[in-house]
Amino acid sequence: MKRNDTLWKGILENVFEEFLIFFFKDASTLFSMEKGFQFLDKELEQLFPDQDIEAPKFVDKLVKVFTKSGQEEWILVHIEVQGYDDKDFASRMFTYFYRILDKYGKPVTAIAIFTDDNKNFHPTLFEYEYLGTKTTFQFNTYKIIEQDETVLLHHENPFSIVVLTVLLALKKKKLDDEKLYNLKYSLAKNLLRKNIPKRKVDDLLIFLQRYVTFADPKYNVKFEKEIEELTENQKSMGIREQVLDIAKKEGIEKGIEKGKMEVVKNLLTIGRFNTEEIASFAGVTQAFVLEVKKTL
């Protein structure tokens, strides 16, 4: 869950312009993309202390987006990525909405992306009525498991690769490593055929690499080597840095010997780092790394 949380937050920032174009048909005429975006993560945390929202959140983002309208210079886009069934989800979306609106007094649009495998879970609105007082709050939704894979494969927007990656992860339970590898490799080739800037290709590859994992670590190594060949053996510093960042966070969160061992295993299976680099990063001795290597 925490790994996916990190990946989602990163990819939303890395391809946010494409995200807007993917969800809003008139994005190019609505938004001033050239002015950039401001991600208000800290401000969102202040509006929603942990004790106020009891249900565990998957991913939430609040983004300041400039518009081309003469009336409003900027609006706020609230994004919630939900990975589990939650009966209070719509109520929570309403809570987000009225606190954001009260705080900023600017137009707010809300989008919920559902990444779970429960086709019956798809809340779209919150309704309240009591003694003549009534309100209805409706928000944008996108259920990934309901999407047409064929359409997405031919979609030129890079965000389609994010959706396809999640669809592949949902299929994972029904596939062995070999079939999963073939599909993951095919998706990577599809990504590399698209006319996408290299930096964003790197971001999408790391999302695919880390979001969809294999039971057998050997397939991780195999996939990594194949990707290097597809990209003409040019190692991507973008991928390298992000892998290190995610692994570091995993190690800090676990904070125990077992956690360090998992971090070392992950870095060893990737096959891009030497013993000294892994030991320095994980905060262990080189002897520890070599011992873990023997177990692979």
**37-39, strands of its sheet edge to edge:** 37-39, 59-66, 74-82, 108-114, 140-143
Q: Select the more confidently predicted residue: 127 or 268.
A: 127
Give the mean model confidence (pLDDT) for residues 189-204: 87
Could you tell me the two tokens for 153? 């494969």
**Residue-level pLDDT at 163:** 96
The amino acid that residue 234 corresponds to is Q
Supply the pTM of this predicted model.
0.74
Residue owning tokens 């979306």? 93
For strand 133-138 and strand 125-130, is the pairing parallel, antiparallel, or unpaired? antiparallel
Least Cα distance to 17 among 31, 1, 3, 2 occurs for 31
Regarding predicted confidence, which is higher, 272 or 105? 105
| Dist CA 95 CA 104 (whole Å) | 14
User: How far is residue 168's CA from residue 189's CA, in Å, rounded to a whole number?
Assistant: 14
| H/E stretch holding 125 | strand 125-130
Whether 236 has a pLDDT exceeding 50, the answer reads: no
Which 8-state DSSP code applies to residue 67? B
Residue 170's identity, in one-letter code, is: L
pLDDT, mean of residues 95-116: 95
Question: By percentage, how much of the chain surpasses pLDDT 70?
Answer: 85
**Mean pLDDT of all residues belonging to the chain:** 84
Rounded Cα gap, residues 48 and 93, in angstroms:
12
